Structure 1
């Protein structure tokens, strides 16, 4: 292609982009593929079905809700990549979601249930119970269920109740005699969330029998409405708008503002209604649609049970006794850099330490904070917290540090979606313990992962810094792939000190030594790094970029990647979720290759490699290449200097690119396909575990 033709291509053409929301649905389809994949153990397939369902719940309550708000407000401007208006996006989402939900539904009822049956596991209806099981559920109903039920009548004096978001309900049509005529009534019964969704029944040895709670309630509904005839009992479920609207400017207390908004989340507008085919009559459906003010496009019908997220609990119930139906347990190993050095501070003083979770244990990070909390020479601990576990050992260590008289500064991000309530609880506890708690920064979410520990040793100050790609969450660290380093690098220490002073005070943004931060300079630094590869490609013909992240949506970065591809730079993108870039388009992105890896661990690490004419620059980051990360979050990207760590990271990236088991590639239409290869199977996640377990060396030989 001639230079003039290259220049004539409009890289902004909507044809060159995937819509953000439809790309997310494509990601969730890949999650569903893991359930469908016969190579996945049976109970793990249950878990992927549950993940698909819970993912879709969040998508509707946030993304779909946001689009509906735009339509309601009369906003009809096309989004800036694929050029779809909010109404067009909603229509496409409806079609795509309906197809995916139907696929999930049919697969569960026609494939999974028969497979469970072959393993002696059945989910029974009331009609399928034997006499002993019927006696058991009757007693269970009277002893455990009936006392917590609350039937809610709907009539002129009792309006339709406010139904809780994502909870299951029964719509009950009733009939009774009134003045000699038959009169109809309507009532709602919430299926108690405090009880298990499934009931384990008595069964023969080696067998498992279950019954869903809603089926039990349907059978015993006459117990709640004595004197009335039951016309119909229909399970249904609603999803509400759960996106918080935080008005920070003018909010005297951000914590109180968020607590107020959290209460509203339960009662947002209904944006989805789900019901089970054959269990809801037309009259009840019309009544619910009208009363809940739901558009007919937002009504979803299933053959099987509603809300398959209950399969998480079923997995937990069955996995211990059915080990042959679950993945082999992969135990996090002692990190390679700590095998010969048990003292964490001494280890950091010798060299930069690298951690690859969950293959290598997260416990050393917990130990680092805990040791700092009790070390007599530690003066201060400063840390950012975005998402932490419910019983966080990190928080416990920080509380102990404050109690021990250390200067503890913690930025707790109160706006971490769906973790707001948990973070408010921890923030209050830290404040009571004497820690200096910062409740985020106005207008921004603090998504950075950084810890600074300051020690005084023989009259000298020492700074120990942890920088990572993932949250300080000991629970998710067992499920998410993330990376981090511990270092005493002086320039990192200065940056860390300035970073915390910047977000806690009024000082203007410092000039960083090594790190890049959003929203001020991260995008510009990434664009400059891509520009360097373009220049090296033109001069030496060796432009090369490998970038691994969760999602790619930022248009300026996509435009620059298209420019780099058109210049001949070879680009590999490893993107688990949303990818608005379309690869393989002649003259635009033909030098870009995109893969997505969905496996037993959630790929969460962000790694950026730039060949830089043999200099090979390597970066880790808390940030995806999304507009929200570049403009609305406080993020950190940091370089990796250690030659040995850079070597490990490069090998990790190369292994991802060789994955032909869990990898899918995106074609130039935006469709994903399993990677096929004549080479031996490479499952990158299992290989990383093998490396950590020393089955093979870190070079993978």
Structure 2
């Protein structure tokens, strides 16, 4: 019986399609070889997170006996089977691509060899490396009747070792042990070249350890050594209501994460059956056991590709962000913002402007207060140091730190403690809600009154990711936006009655209804015969209510263009429902991360930037922010950015009604939006 097509694409299956688009970039021979290697690493990292969160959640539902069909038509068990099939197909394709990339790199003189392929001189040099560097940090961990099965950390690489005692027969049950491949050491070890050869040769760390395994088990003979890797359930279960100290509660849950239930076991193809049986029994994992034909955990390729000296021909051309010209000649950024609003487009424009703004505010004697949200902060954050300095100089500094930013919890705890030590007021948001809004407020004394300066962004205040993600940020001293910013911080840090927002729309209380109003207004324009157009750019679209509202608008005649990088549960192009909707996804050098909404509004165009994707969690379980762009020239810039994306016919893929994606092909001149944004000033109106 043919399965009836649901009105919606399943979220998790849509994510698989997204990761396939990333894999396609690794397969694209027009991309430089080392960049293709990086895309392979991203595929692995993406799949790790997907497995530890989404697949783990489905597994929990199955264990709880849930059989309810979701709004896309899948039960947990049915979805599990579909995901297992698709992810296994993707992994097989990933490793075929890996071998193809290795062949290409070998032609360029960059070779990852097996230990056996090394000549005696190279092997001798690795003997010294093993004895001096590797051996001292290895810890063999035996498992037998007197010693329990060791803790296997999530996503770490291990070697399963089977041994026989000297003189024992082959019929006796073997001894079992594991050895962790230390992640503190480089996974790819450079070996001396052969003679005068200019080739760069490497060998994997696990190969070196396997070759010297007998040094770890004196009196025993290893006869089977095989890599394996476990992925555990990584979702935190917080009791925020009962937690007197949220920091301590999260630290406790982070420790539990190391013991989360195993969700996936990966092992090198050909593993000894006895060793595999021991792992499955002790880890209590029967399904999602994945044999790998190649090195486990290809995420090592990210560091490997970055460590190759020279070889610029194997990388994207360098791109140095430019300092925003509005601030370039200005000694006082506040003076600039009193005259006009400023829009930044990262990574083409430098995040240093944001750092400089906070540093100027920290040292300005007329600045009375700085308030800011922090979601994911970079390792050496200029912003954190500037906030600490401001607090030490007596300014009122309030920082809303989101401790529950998944996989960044430990880093955020460290920064929170550092800020508290410096005298900042650190607030951990509201119970049950993640603080995902990106906003910075500076209150400054000027003549006889106070003026508010605001920065609102689509991306995290993270200088590292600002070089890798496309995001927009708005600097403004508009009094209405300033008043809303103050009210938002009051809501996040204290008690506040419902506020009548004049510019902002804020989740969870009002963002959904505001988006509905914008869409309904376009629908009414269409019904009255006026031009009606909506363009929305985001990372993910999965909320059923938002999708239904877009379907209604399409049926009313609104032209809808969606730029959705990742998950999209909407089916475009369905006659009678969504024939007026087009959805594209762009996967390229930079991670498309900005959230921008445009509505034509009968000729009175409006543009908004937002922190929120159109997912249920963003609209109902997070503090999110949508901010209008009032300045007409900046609105045009934002529209230019959207039009750049919509013109892409090189890296854009278009979503089909069946849920798959195809590359955009047309007769127009090839147009690669990210490279056009880099190479031309068109998007900012500098013509």
Tell me which interval the TM-score lies in, with the shorter structure as reference length: over 0.9
1:277–1:350 CA distance, 2 compared to 1 (3 A): same
Aligned residues: 681
For residue 36 of structure 2, give the secondary structure of its aligned residue in structure 1: helix
1:183 positional shift = 4.7
| 2:547 corresponds to 1:582 | no
Q: Is the 8 A contact 1:691 1:698 kept in 2?
A: no
Distance 1:508 1:206 in 2: 70
What are the residue-to-residue correspondences of 1:457-536 with 2, within 5 Å?
A: 457-536=446-525
Distance 1:371 1:85, change over 3 A: same
> Does residue 96 of the first structure (1) align with residue 83 of the second (2)?
no
Gaps of 5+ in 1: 1-12
Partners of 2:7 and 2:325 in 1: CA distance: 43
Q: Hey, what's the Cα distance between the residues in 1 that align with 2:163 and 2:11? A: 45
Give the secondary-structure state (helix, strand or coil) at the position aligned to 2:454: strand
The residue that corresponds to 2:674 in the other structure is: 685
SS for the counterpart of 1:15 is coil
Match of 1:237 in 2: 229
CA deviation string 1:283-306 (max 9, x = no partner): 22222122211123x011121111
Q: Match of 2:199?
A: 207
* Residue from 648, 651, 672 that aligns with 1:662: 651
Aligned to 1:308: 298
1:231-630 aligned at under 5 Å gives the runs 231-278=223-270, 280-296=271-287, 298-318=288-308, 320-630=309-619
Three-state SS of the structure 2 residue aligned to 1:540 is coil
CA distances 1:647-673 after superposition (whole Å, capped 9, x unpaired): 111111111110011100011101101
1:370-396: CA deviation from partner (whole Å, max 9, x where unpaired): 000000100000001101101100001
Runs of 4+ in structure 1 off by over 3 angstroms are 177-183, 339-342, 696-701
Q: State whether residues 126 and 215 of structure 1, in contact with CA within 8 Å, keep that contact through their aligned partners in structure 2.
A: yes
Residues 105 and 111 of structure 2 are in contact (CA less than 8 Å); yes or no, is this contact kept in structure 1? Answer: yes
* 2: CA distance, partners of 1:241 / 1:358: 33
Please give the alpha-carbon distance, in whole angstroms, between the structure 1 residues aligned to 2:488 and 2:684: 34
Q: Is the 8 A contact 1:574 1:595 kept in 2?
A: yes
Contact 1:176-1:183 within 8 A present in 2 as well: no
Tell me how far apart the structure 1 counterparts of residues 394 and 142 of structure 2 sit (CA, whole Å).
Answer: 57
Shift of 1:275: 1.1
Q: How far off its partner does 1:465 sit?
A: 0.7
Residues 217-243 of structure 1: CA deviation (Å, up to 9, x unaligned):
111111111211222111111101111
1:58 aligns with 2:49: yes
Deviation per residue, 1:476-503 (Å, 9 max, x gap): 0000110011111111111111111111
Give the gaps of 5 or more residues in structure 2.
Answer: none
Number of the residue aligned with 2:178 = 188
TM-score (norm 1): 0.95
Counterpart Cα distance in 2 of 1:70 and 1:22: 17
What do you get for the CA RMSD once the two structures are aligned?
1.4
2:21 aligned with 1:30, yes or no?
yes
Distance (whole Å) between structure 1 residues aligned to residue 81 and residue 355 of structure 2: 47
Whether the 8 Å CA contact 1:275–1:302 is kept in 2: the answer is: yes
2:173 and 2:667 mapped to 1: Cα distance? 70
* Matched-pair contact (CA < 8 Å) for 2:176–2:275: no
Q: Secondary structure at the match of 2:276?
A: helix
TM-score (norm 2): 0.97
In the alignment, is the contact (CA less than 8 A) between 1:173 and 1:231 conserved in 2? yes
Work out whether residues 241 and 265 of structure 1, in 8 Å CA contact, stay in contact via their aligned partners in 2: yes
Matched, 1:640 2:629: yes
Change (3 A) 1:210 1:499: same
The alignment partner of 2:54 has SS state of: helix
- Equivalent residue, structure 2, for 1:6: none
Displacement after TM superposition at 1:126 (Å):
1.4
Offset of 1:253 from its aligned partner? 1.0
Q: Is the 8 A contact 2:321 2:349 kept in 1?
A: yes
**Contact 1:352 1:487 (8 Å CA) reproduced:** yes
